[in-house]
Structure formats: C-alpha cells, structure tokens
Copies of this chain bind each other. A is one copy, B any other.
Amino acid sequence: MRILIPFKANNPKSRLSSILSEEERKELARLMLLDVIDAAKPFGEIKVVCPSELDVEGVEVVVDTSDLNTTVNKVMDEAPLAVIMSDLPLLSEEVLKRFFETEGDVVVAPGRKGGTNMLLVRKRGFRVSYHFGSFFKHLEMARKMGMKAKIFDSFYSSVDIDDESDLLELMMHGSGKKSYEFLRKIGFSVSFEETPRLERRVFMQP
C-alpha cells in the first residue's frame, strides 16, 4: 500500500497563532507529521509531499508546489493508495490497522467540519476534492463512479489539530506522542479541576 501524506510547511496552523508563535507552530506541525509517520509506517511505503524541501529520516519527500487536490490527483491512479493528513497526531497503529482492514473501493474517515482526514482508494479513476465538505463530496463521487464506499468511524482520526479545542484533545489523549511532548515542554498542560481546559505555564527569562 502506498501512503501519501501531504504536508504544508509554510505558516502552518495559523488558527493557533493566538497561543503559539510561528516557530512553535512550525515545530508542532513537523512533530505531528512525525507522529503520523510513526503510526503509518507498518502499513506501507510512505511518501510525504511538501511545497518546499523537507528532511524526514527514512521517508521519501517529494517537493510539489501544486495545490492539495492537484498534488493528490496526480498519483490517484497509483491505487491502491491511502492519503493521510499530517495533523492527526492521535493516530496509532491500532487505529490504522482497523482503517486498512476496512473493506470497500473507497474508505473515508471524517474529520470535524466535514473534512476528509484519511482516504483509502483501492480502484483507479477516483479523484479527490478537498475543502468545503470534502467528506460528503468523496462519498458522492464514489457513488457516482459505482465504487463501494465505506465510512471509517474513529474519534482519534477525527481530531485534526486546527484550533485551541483540538490542542486540548492532543494534550489529553496524546501521551507519548512527539507533538504532545513538545507542547508539554513549552508549558502546556490540562487542568481537570472543572471541565478540562488547556493551560500554559509561562517560563520566566533568567
């Protein structure tokens, strides 16, 4: 199985800019990519696609400045193929085992807000259309093409890190992940005194 992970290197995770500096967001994005790679490695040959140079140990990186849909559709006919987003740090081998075992010509894993967090395509001819409710567009496209579509129902793959509420999920469920350890290191934790919420300790300059 080929596994494609698109990665946006510039100004990543801008919706977190109120609580993380640009450098911190870059490092978080890089470490989440590594977390996804760690989880996905047992299941196939990983290729990271990125608009600029990137060094990831042991993984092929292809530089491609096209938009996401163009980038992914270029290789869609290499099916069977999985496309996994790079901001899903709660993925694990256990979650992905169930994903790759799910039958269907097309398997779609929903994110919040109608997104497609993971996609598995086993037949040639399918084309992706990310953004604006892509989860529903991908199910409809499979139906139109006579391909059997299956929904992959997972909480952990539904949590893409986009805003502060997602960061809370990472800090609660992400123990052991590289991205989690980084956030801890820079002062983040979770307060469980009331409804769980994110906290950040600010380190004083010496």
Q: Which residues of A contact B (CB under 8 A)?
A: 95, 98, 109-110, 112-114, 131-133, 136, 153-158, 165, 168-169, 172-173, 190, 192-196
Contacts and interface: CB of A to CB of B under 8 A. Distances in A.
Contact of A133 (B98, B153, B196): B196
How many protomers of this protein does the assembly include? 2
Contacts of A158: 155, 158
A195 B153 contact: no
A98 B95 CA distance: 14
A204 to B, nearest CB: 29
Contacts of A131: 195
B95 A172 contact: no
Contact of A154 (B113, B155, B194): B155
Contacts of A95: 153
A158 to B, nearest CB: 4
Contacts of A157: 155
B112 A165 contact: yes
Contacts of A194: 132
A108 to B, nearest CB: 11
Contacts of A132: 192-196
Contacts of A110: 155, 173
9 contacts: A110-B173, A112-B165, A114-B192, A114-B196, A132-B196, A153-B156, A154-B155, A155-B155, A158-B158
